[in-house]
Structure 1
């Protein structure tokens, strides 16, 4: 391996808009400010809502639900 070709990889503090702070490593080299983290993102908090506008999920299931099913 060649010497001195890798970038500096220091520890940086990441601050979310919700106030959560944690430390990681980055080649960016200075503190990061992010909008969403695992503490406030709806997917990770379990507050995510699935919207079914106009019955689209049911319409899809009706059209393609039996696709690939074996006939008895």
Structure 2
């Protein structure tokens, strides 16, 4: 195996500003900004827009939006089954 081919793998804090949540993990990502973590050590911090704490799928706030009756329009156009008919 060739040496010095892979990027450095080190502890990094990812911070979700929208949810006010941060977590420490290992990553190859780097940043000039640092943060002091609960263990007293200083780690690079990367701000993210969405994490599992703020994403609608993971929080249960996801909704399905049927704008303009798209499902009904699709069924009319392509011959969907009528309500009450068995499959």
Name the TM-score class by shorter chain: 0.7 to 0.9
Q: TM-score, normalised by structure 1?
A: 0.75
Moved over 4 A (4+): none
Q: Which runs of 5+ in 1 are unaligned?
A: 67-72
RMSD of aligned alpha carbons:
1.7
Q: Which runs of 5+ in 2 are unaligned?
A: 31-43, 82-87
Match of 1:55 in 2: 69
Q: TM-score, normalised by structure 2?
A: 0.64
1:28-43 equivalent positions in 2, closer than 5 A: 28-29=29-30, 30-43=44-57
